[in-house]
Amino acid sequence: MTRATRTPPSQAQRAARFVLGRITFYVGSSLFAAFFVLPLLWLTVAPFSTLANLDLRLPDPWSLQNFERVFENGFAIRALVQNSMIQGFGAMLLVTLTATLAAYALSRANIPGTTAITYGLVLFSSVVTGTAAMVPIFLMIVQLGLIDTHLGVILVFTGGLLPAAVFIMRDFVDSIPRSYEESAMVAGASSWRVFRDIALPIVRPGMMVVGVWAFVQVWGGFLIPFILLRDADKMPASVAIYSFYTEAGTPLITLTAAYSLLYTLPVLLLYLFVNWRYGFRFFGGIKS
Amino acid sequence: MASVTFHDVEKAFGTVKAVDGVNFTITEGEFVCLLGPSGCGKTTTLRLIAGLEKATGGNIQIGDLDVTHLAAKDRDIGMVFQDYALYPHMTIGENIGYPLKVRNVPTDARATRIGEVAKNLQIDKLLERRPGEISGGQQQRTSVARAVVHEPQVFLFDEPLSNLDAKLRLEARSFLKHLQREVGVTAVYVTHDQAEAMALADRIAVMNEGRIVQMAPPLEVYHRPGTTFVANFLGSPPMNLLPGKVALDGEPRFVGEAFTIPMQSHVETAVRQHLSDGAQVTVGIRPEHLDLSQDPVSGGFQGPLYALETLGPESLVTLKVGDELLTVRIFSDDAPQLADTVHAAFDPEKLHVFRENGERIPVE
Amino acid sequence: MQRRPILSLPTGALFMLPAGIFIVAFILLPFFWIAAVSFTNRTLTGRTAVNPEFVGLDNYLRLFDASRFLNSGEFGASLLITGQFVFFSAIIGQAFLGLALAWFFFNRKGWIQNTVTTIAIIAWIMPDVVVAFAWFAFLNGDGGTLNQILGFFGLPTPDWLLDLPLVSVIIFNIWRGTAFSMLLFSSALGAIPPSYLETANVVGASTWQRLRDIILPMIRSHIVTALILITLWTFNTFTPFLLTGGGPSYQTEVVSIYTYRTAFQFFRFGSGAAVGMVMMIINLGFALVYLSLLRTQRRSA
């Protein structure tokens, strides 16, 4: 066997390699950053410009006039602060509560085949997607008399988001040592008290994450409200944004941009909140 | 305070019997350690007492009450968990008071009692803190406080010191011993650390493969191990165990591959009573009962040096006797200049003899 | 070790009930319902809305009618477009770029990594209609940011959404979804014990060797998971509709848009359901491939 010989790099070589490495890193980072930032740049300045321009330039003068005009559009504002909120919070509450209960049972009761159930659900939910199943979902909501209601939208979102929510939540509950509940049982607490006093407070961070996730999904969701709602008074912002489009389907650029910014704000704030509070990351179980 | 009795208790997980026909009585006020390697069933036994596992056979009594089918919450038990299980969303005071809260003790009485217990455990300055804000040793004390606060019938410990670093562990061990003397409550303590068991227990129950192999006071377990398993599990380093045969023709002796040990007369009596000529045995001798010698000793051991480990005041000398290793514990100050061949002598009074199946022959 | 449950079986079942109802109602039921509707000529209004007739395989036969299967605006053409869309934007684009990003910033924690990660995540979590609008402006033929930049460098400035609609939609989707695989791969890389890489360093492995011999094998299951999930999502996404509406002249009509057009533009629910059914069968195929890959992996592990 021959032994590969390697001359150790000289100091100058090492310095050169280091500089080269730094340069590669900065150039690469800039390219990645550019790829993600450039498409959004225009949207961050356009709302403050009085000119309906699509090219990227600083507003001259900076103005809040677009926002004033957006606020004059009662329909779009109601969609944002009322309808999107009702649908987002409604689905968030339902998803979080039912997913927490189910995930807790999957983790803590000896239900046979729990892992198979969880994985089966997640897979099945990725098979029966909102797009593939839009016809039966629409027909079902018609049949239930829930067409054109907030409740219909909330229920459909809840059903669609639940499997993934249960999956995330179960991972979270599984990561909590059983000794918390066991010590409460030994201390003399009934099952209900164990759940209320111990389990629920301990899984609260998981519930927060799932809740925020569900809210963001519903907040940004377009297709479901688009096909389930007819009445303008119930449209969420994702659909109402098209009130800033002309009949021909082209947007009134300044107003749409301003509205887009308002509409995105809650999602951004929630993301920053979650990132600050819990760190935005994946829980372990998603890997296999 | 109450006794704890197991009658033929079994616990099977599927086809695996984690606890396989265990019988014992722990008397009131006694401190018993369940000792054994991981997977021996000691933790399951403890959880059976707590009611966190359901026995699949036999019955369990606490005092005069048959608790076999009683839920954990109705057994009146205090338990310290390995990870302490302190509720992160409650303060230390709320943690300690939780058993009282679920018993609907009024707030004032609760506060008084929490204060009392916390003072006793020297954590009364921490009552407003959260578990994440105190040290490991303090967390351990908090979990002890929570377990004693409602003056339970029985006190259970599941390896409570294993998460502490070495120095704290010794401190906490002394403290637990002190506490138990003071409170005098019946206690069952699970550990895999023999030193802990020795230090704390009134009696040690050594477990292996779901059964209790020997249950006796610490010194008894140490001096008269019931089986080779116990002999090998207790002592640091463990007892030297060497396979050999009984030879009763001529001078009675044990003959091994590379040694011959003459029998003392009391040993011969016991051996003649229990074994026949040519029977396979295991002879055991603890490292602390061996000593090095400059010259060959008759009835001793000799072999090439395998390793010399200095542990501070003591040293371990290991030599190779045939295919077996023999460890000798000596004072480091006495460490001789070691030659290639080492000789070791032992006190014949301290010889242990086990049958082929591992059972002890009572040679005393 | 199997332990005594903290919840009894009946309580556990009770806890699962609410979620169970939702899942049965909105996932299991639609699956069978869609199958049933796809064999009828159900419409929104008129006689067949109330009393749909059983039409057998008619809807499917029409979908797969060989004489026009691949014609523009037909199902076959839509499938072909979807295939390209998924292959380039999900498999090549998102998975590869996500891995590249995760690898590039691996062990280079700092404000730069933080910033790039944050922007990628923001691109991922912004509402569909907003990113569609932002990209509409970004890609605009005259004056959009992209063409401004290309023009600055003297490069050609096409009207992206009209001249290169599919390419536009593909790049848009890569931009939109890369954060997921980046996050997944980052957490996978983070889970590799540092000693493995240090060992490789000590024996003198090059960067490429480390990637090939240690990192890729160790995150194989993550790669499989990422690939299958983003494939499924991309296959089912409706977002291109918001950017191009499927046009111009059906050039970006992926099957989700085709389903929508069939079912809701003309309210031919029977045909729409048939398309949905085919989509689900394809989804199921992906899911089964995923399961079998996981199983072989678990066996070899």
Query: Tell me: the pLDDT tens digits for C176-223?
Result: 888 888 888 888 887 788 888 788 777 777 778 878 888 888 887 778
Residue A1 lies in a domain: no
pLDDT at A286: 37
Quote the mean pLDDT of chain C: 80
Residues C162, C49 share a domain: no
Q: pLDDT of A179-210, one tens digit each?
A: 899 999 999 888 888 989 999 998 888 888 88
**Does some domain include residue A158?**
yes
3-class state of residue B80 by DSSP: strand
C48 and C116 assigned to the same domain:
no
Q: What is the pLDDT of residue A91?
A: 92
Q: Which residue has the tokens 């600055």?
A: C152
**Confidence (pLDDT) at A288:** 28
A3 within domain boundaries: no
Same domain, A50 and A132: no
Q: Please, which residues 161-190 of chain A have a Cβ atom closer than 8 Å to chain B?
A: 177, 179-180, 182-190
Structural domain for C272, as ranges: 29-63+268-301
Q: Which residue of B has its CA nearest to A176?
A: B85
Residue A5 counted as domain residue:
no
Q: What is the pLDDT of residues B133-172, one digit of tens each?
A: 888 888 988 999 999 898 888 999 998 888 888 888 888 8
Q: Do A105 and C13 touch (CB under 8 A)?
A: yes
Residues C161-187 have pLDDT tens digits of 777 888 888 888 888 888 888 888 888
| C210, C249: one domain | yes
Q: Which of A163, A180, A160, A154 is nearest to A103 (CA)?
A: A163
Calculate ∠ Cα B34-B39-B43, nearest 5°. 40
| Counted domains in chain C | 2
CATH no. for residue A249? 1.10.3720.10
Given CB atoms, is B12 within the 8 Å cutoff of chain C? no
Within a domain: residue A218? yes
A274 and A137, same domain (yes or no): yes
Are B77 and A197 a contacting pair at CB < 8 A? no
* Nearest-Cα residue of chain C relative to residue B18: C1
Residue C14 lies in a domain: no
Please give the ipTM for the structure prediction. Answer: 0.81
Same domain, C150 and C280: no
Nearest CA in chain B to C7: B52
Range of the domain at A44: 11-63
B70 Cβ under 8 Å from any chain C Cβ: no
Q: pTM score > 0.95 for this model?
A: no
Q: Binning pLDDT at 50, 70 and 90, where does residue A5 land?
A: low
Asked if the structure places residue C220 within a domain, the reply is yes
* A115 and A220 together in one domain: yes
Beta bridge partners of residue B297, listed in sequence order = none
Would residue C163 count as lying in a domain? yes
pLDDT value at residue B335: 67
Task: Answer yes or no: do A118 and A172 share one domain.
Answer: yes
Residues C82 and C198 in one domain: yes
Residues A16 and A159 in one domain: no
**Residue B15: closest CA among chain C residues belongs to which residue?**
C2
C85 plus C208 within the same structural domain: yes
Put simply, the answer to whether C183 touches A25 (Cβ < 8 Å) is no
The per-residue pLDDT for range A229-250, each reduced to its tens digit, is: 888 788 888 887 877 777 776 7
The one-character DSSP state at B87 is: -
Same domain, A33 and A79: no
C118 plus C229 within the same structural domain: yes
Tell me whether residue C119 is in a domain.
Answer: yes
C202/C229 same-domain check: yes
Identify from C2, C17, C22 which residue to disrupt to test chain A contact, counting A C-beta atoms within 10 A and taking the largest count. Answer: C22
Query: Is there a contact between A25 and C37 if contact means CB atoms under 8 Å apart?
Result: no
Helix (H) / strand (E) element for B304: namely strand B301-310
Residues A192 and A55 in one domain: no
Distance CA B5, CA B76 (A): 15
Are C197 and C283 in a shared domain? Answer: no
For each of the domains in chain B, give its residue range(s) and CATH number, in order of start.
4-232 (3.40.50.300), 237-361 (2.40.50.140)
Q: Are residues A18 and A153 in the same domain?
A: no
Q: What is the tally of structural domains in chain A?
A: 2
Q: Give the percent of chain C with pLDDT over 70.
A: 95
Q: Do A41 and A85 lie in a common domain? A: no
Q: What count of residues does chain C have?
A: 301
Nearest to A37 among C5, C119, C229 (CB): C119
> Would you tell me which residues 131-170 of chain A have a C-beta closer than 8 angstroms to some C-beta of chain C?
131-140, 155-156, 158-160, 162-163, 166
Number of other residues whose CB lies within 10 A of the CB of residue C179: 23
- Asked if residue A259 and residue A170 are part of one domain, the reply reads yes
Regarding whether A93 and A49 lie in a shared domain, the answer is: no
pLDDT at residue B95 in the model? 92
Report the CATH number that the domain containing residue C80 is assigned in CATH: 1.10.3720.10
Q: Are B157 and B188 in contact (CB under 8 A)?
A: yes
Phi, psi of A248 (to 5 degrees): -80, -5
SS3 A18: helix
If asked whether residues C57 and C87 sit together in one domain, one would say no
Same domain, yes or no: C235 and C289: no
CA-closest candidate to residue A165, choices C202, C258, C19:
C19
Number of Cβ within a 10 Å radius of residue B279: 16
Question: Any residues with CB less than 8 A from the CB of B235 and at least 6 apart, and which?
Answer: B194, B222, B286, B287, B288
